[in-house]
Copies of this chain bind each other. A is one copy, B any other.
């Protein structure tokens, strides 16, 4: 048991991942906060479009497309395509 702990605390990857695990909830919250902020703008815009154009406007679809587009136009994140690919579960 003792040697197991010793290995854990001196392994660089393990040390880094302990920190990662500690920060994870806060990171998730920060990322979600950004998405929620812009989602709100798109919701209002879609309601507006519906008022102006007519009831056949599907607001949910407009919002989803806008969210997808805003993400597709993000550039130069400090992570790779490959990383983003595996980074989240789908909700939309």
> Which B residues touch A78, using CB under 8 A?
32, 35-36, 39, 67, 91-92
Q: This chain: how many copies in the complex? A: 2
Instruction: Determine which of B12, B62, B88 lies in contact with A49 in the assembled complex, contact meaning CB atoms within 8 Å.
Output: B12
Question: Interface on A for B, CB 8 Å cutoff?
Answer: 10, 12-13, 15-17, 19-20, 23-24, 27-28, 30-32, 34-39, 41-42, 45-46, 49, 52-53, 57, 62, 65-92
- 15 more contacts with CB within 8 A, not counting A68-B79, A81-B86, are A12-B53, A17-B66, A23-B38, A27-B34, A27-B70, A28-B73, A28-B74, A30-B37, A67-B78, A71-B84, A79-B91, A80-B91, A81-B89, A82-B90, A84-B88
